Amino acid sequence: MTTKIERRIRIKYRVRNKISGTPERPRMSVFRSNKQIYVQVIDDLSGKTLASASSLGMETMPKMEQAAKVGALIAKKAQEAGITTVVFDRNGYLYHGRVKEVADAARNGGLKF
């Protein structure tokens, strides 16, 4: 029997074998911890992070609101860097809750994926 973390890592590697970020369409990766949520827009060919956002400093608001703010913030930062379309990488997490909230807020902010 595998643990929850091992299961997430297996899913993560399976997804990462299929998707990859290019300069034209970088990968938007989400990492979710118990307290924070982090998002990066990554060009996998050059191995560089093009934009990033996190919920650090937003501890006073509920986690779902934090996720929505981070999604809107990453959309704004990505558009400032000239990025309009991305590939969404949920990083092995279920597309549910805070991960879905980040994706929806980024879409509303103008990112396409």
> What CATH number does the domain located at 4-108 have?
3.30.420.100
Q: Count Cβ atoms within 10 A of the Cβ of residue 104 and give its class: 0-12 exposed, 13-18 middle, 19 or more buried.
A: middle
pLDDT value for 53: 97
- Amino acid 102: pLDDT: 97
- Two tokens, residue 8: 């997430």
Q: Count of CB atoms within 10 A of residue 23's CB?
A: 12
Cα separation, 36 vs 58, in Å, equals 9
Give the whole-angstrom CA distance, residue 73 versus residue 45. 24
pTM higher than 0.85, yes or no? yes
pLDDT (tens, 9 = 90+) of the chain, 113 residues, equals 689 999 999 999 999 999 999 999 999 999 999 999 999 999 999 999 999 999 999 999 999 999 999 999 999 999 999 999 999 999 999 999 999 999 999 999 999 99
